[in-house]
Chains A and B, each alone.
Chain A
């Protein structure tokens, strides 16, 4: 019977493999513009092309302005609101099977009697990170994305609103952003190097991308961002607090400033993008603003905590056609991502109940990711990631530096439809710490956006 079940799973999976072709966009934008997904996306849903970057920098305001997308205009006061509210959903189902994967303490994921659990057993994740989006043009020169998602049974609302005006060959704009997940730069960041969590080459971002693996391009962030984009140039300056709390964040004026520059160099059928990013500053707010779970804590009083970030890095993206194959090469280097807490004990409800995604204090990393698409609907990819985790670990005091590792990953993307993508990625992980064995991870993901 066990053999039958395994065979069924295998045959079902193989059937899926053979029928799925491309997916992770926001089809609400396709509805607004009446353009296919690939008008904005390169290779598949998670990566933007040049037109997609322009659309984002226009504050998502480009529209067909006809039919159901006709605009309701104001007379004495401007309006320009579409006749319909454009919505879309992104569904994701994943199966993750690892062998010898470890937790933050370097222990293999298994029961006390030695039976595999979690991804070492094989884990199905249905609806995890799935979202409902209301997105697109909101008014003349104003647009944004409102995102609704679920995490551990709790409803999470995030999003951004941007104001953009055409300036020369590009746009000048202003963004207000609050996210539980996508990191400080996600207000307006449109390259595929992982600085915005949604835009990356691999699904398994922690094992393939330096900015994601070092925790710099993910996590909660609430902030504002000014930007300018020209034909070959993108610059943004912003300030943020590393928290997402709709009940309020009592930061006063203490936000962490950050900046990002990128320059695009056309080279025949390729475009080379070279960028840099950094942040340096302190945000001070109540510990309960950072983690609402501490409101009910009997062990940790409400008190102000200063979070200091000192981080910088560089990224490179080479995109275009190579030997008639769509090609994207991304390199990310994070020489430093340092987080310092004024009083770490105020951020933990003893005994060590952790809220949010624990962030390690100091990380260095670099990665190189390459995707080649011999055909429009499928591509292969490979990545190398190296991470150096120097601690200390504020949130899990008994955690060790298991993030010190080199990782080689191979992957395959198949787009059954432009909005339906199957991804398979296989990672071979070599931890650098003595006594921790190598492990592997096979991740399969089906993403459907509609």
Chain B
């Protein structure tokens, strides 16, 4: 029975891999700036290059002044600077996922049987420039993980030019992109959409540990230019548009990165990230509802830190990107009795992981990539559906084909070797297509 329970947990953990992801390659930005997708993206969307980071740091406010459709409606007595059109994007995704987990005496179901996911993770995205010095992204997506028809997500950013870059303030609320997503533009997985592999739980340390994904609502101050990026903020690890009664008990976090351009085509980034603190809110607010009758307060403690590295550039005419992420510590503790209902990302966790990912594009539209992830679970309890409850190593291989700048096809294979437990080795196969327009 214990084995069977573990297998079911394993399967539910695998299903988490297919939760929707926010897109970070938005043709609405191409419409606003008059530039092609590859101006901001390297190798394939959604990975950002230097100009893409610069655009994000500007609060998405840069625009095409020569384009009549993007002209600004200006204010007289009070400033405005509103674009003449609302730039909108749609992102469509379809995936086929096949895993080889064995659920013993049961007929194969879910990804073990082979699952087609059409439109899961798809959505509408609005935004770009909002006014002078203010930009925003707002997403409207479905939420297959709950009964919700629709989920709002997004951020509003105030940005000013400072020295050679921008300083700003980001107010954000997301269901999936994680603590740092108010402003995080490197491709190391600290912001859920910005990573090298689609099946991030088996390839990226920040995603596998959960420190770089999940619900978050917060405020983030930052400064960034071509060399430095520094940010600090405070957040609540939850999203509930009906309200979060956290009072002033927010969790602080910080992130620092140094980027060194080398020659004309190379960028080497070394960074670090940290969060630590407690927040307390009613259990019902944290569970997606806000019903005050009979509520109790729940304390959530989060603690984690890690380092990341990104090297991107050309070898000859061949584009490459290497990313390393080491999550040295990631702890989540809550004051609820075991068995209480709570959002998955707030379930107790104690884990760490390290990953290295590499992609090379021998020709512009075709990328070949490899990854290796090692993951350690230090928690004793197994009732966690947000992260894996066992230690494992996972090498992965992948192909990315970009027939158009806004169309990406991915094929990825991961071979997972759990250690020290009764689970057998298993594999995951991903086939996915994403179209943004």
Contacts and interface: CB of A to CB of B under 8 A. Distances in A.
A9 B252 CA distance: 10
A420 B131 contact: yes
A5 B80 contact: no
**Those 3 A-B pairs whose CB atoms lie nearest each other, nearest first:** A153-B148, A122-B247, A417-B131
Nearest to B294: A112
Contact of B84 (A6, A31, A123, A154): A31
A376 B151 contact: no
A36 B158 CA distance: 21
A419 interface: yes
A38 B134 CA distance: 18
Contacts of B138: 89, 91, 130
A418 B75 contact: yes
Contact of B73 (A12, A31, A124): A31
Contact of A152 (B80, B242, B292): B242
Contact of A448 (B77, B134, B234): B134
Given A28-B86, A417-B78, A448-B156, A67 B68 contact: yes
Interface residues of A, number: 70
B126 A89 contact: yes
A36 B78 CA distance: 9
Interface in B136-162: 136, 138, 140, 143, 146-152, 154, 156, 158
B75 A417 contact: yes
Nearest to B219: A12
Contact of B248 (A6, A113, A418, A450): A6
Contact of A119 (B79, B241, B245): B245
A36 B149 contact: no
Which residue, of B244, B246, B247, has the highest number of chain A Cβ atoms within 10 A? B247
Contact of A127 (B131, B132, B241, B290): B241
Nearest to B232: A8
A124 B75 contact: no
A435 B169 CA distance: 45
Interface in B231-267: 232, 234, 236, 239, 241-250, 252
Interface string A1-41: 11011101100100110010110000110110011111000
B282 A450 contact: no
Interface of B: 68-69, 73-86, 88, 126-127, 130-132, 134, 136, 138, 140, 143, 146-152, 154, 156, 158, 169, 171, 173, 217, 219, 221, 232, 234, 236, 239, 241-250, 252, 277, 281-282, 285, 288-290, 292-297
Contacts of A117: 245, 282, 292, 295, 297
Nearest to A20: B158
A38 B127 CA distance: 22
Interface of A: 1-2, 4-6, 8-9, 12, 15-16, 19, 21-22, 27-28, 30-31, 34-38, 67-68, 84, 86-89, 91, 93, 96-97, 103, 109, 111-113, 115-119, 121-128, 130, 132, 148, 150, 152-155, 376-377, 415-420, 446, 448, 450
Contacts of B295: 111, 117-118
Nearest to B217: A126
Given A2-B249, A126-B173, 14 more contacts: A5-B250, A12-B219, A16-B169, A22-B78, A89-B138, A91-B136, A118-B290, A124-B217, A124-B245, A127-B241, A148-B140, A418-B80, A450-B83, A450-B130
A34 B73 contact: yes
Contacts of A87: 86, 88, 126
7 contacts: A38-B75, A89-B126, A103-B293, A118-B245, A124-B243, A150-B152, A417-B132
Given A31-B85, A91-B154, A121 B281 contact: yes
B28 to A, nearest CB: 12
B244 A123 contact: yes
Contacts of B297: 111, 115, 117, 121
Contact of A418 (B78, B169, B245): B78
A123 B245 contact: yes
Given A124-B243, A153-B150, A419 B131 contact: yes
Contacts of B217: 124, 126
- If over half of A's interface residues share one DSSP class (helix, strand or loop), that class is named, otherwise mixed; here it is mixed
A450 B243 contact: no
A8 B234 contact: yes
Nearest to A39: B76
A116 B282 CA distance: 9
A84 B234 contact: no
A30 B241 contact: no
Contact of A377 (B78, B146, B285): B78
B182 to A, nearest CB: 12
A9 B249 CA distance: 9
Contacts of B76: 36, 38
Contacts of A152: 242, 289
A36 B245 contact: no
A21 B79 contact: yes
Given A117-B297, A119-B245, A91 B234 contact: no
Contact of B150 (A38, A67, A150, A420): A150
Contacts of A97: 247
A86 B88 CA distance: 11
A401 B429 CA distance: 62
Given A12-B234, A126-B217, A448-B130, A38 B78 contact: yes
Which residue, of B73, B169, B234, B285, has the highest number of chain A Cβ atoms within 10 A? B73
A31 B281 contact: no
A419 B171 contact: no
A183 to B, nearest CB: 21
Contacts of B150: 150, 153-155
B1 to A, nearest CB: 35
A93 B86 contact: no
B14 to A, nearest CB: 25
Contacts of B221: 12, 15
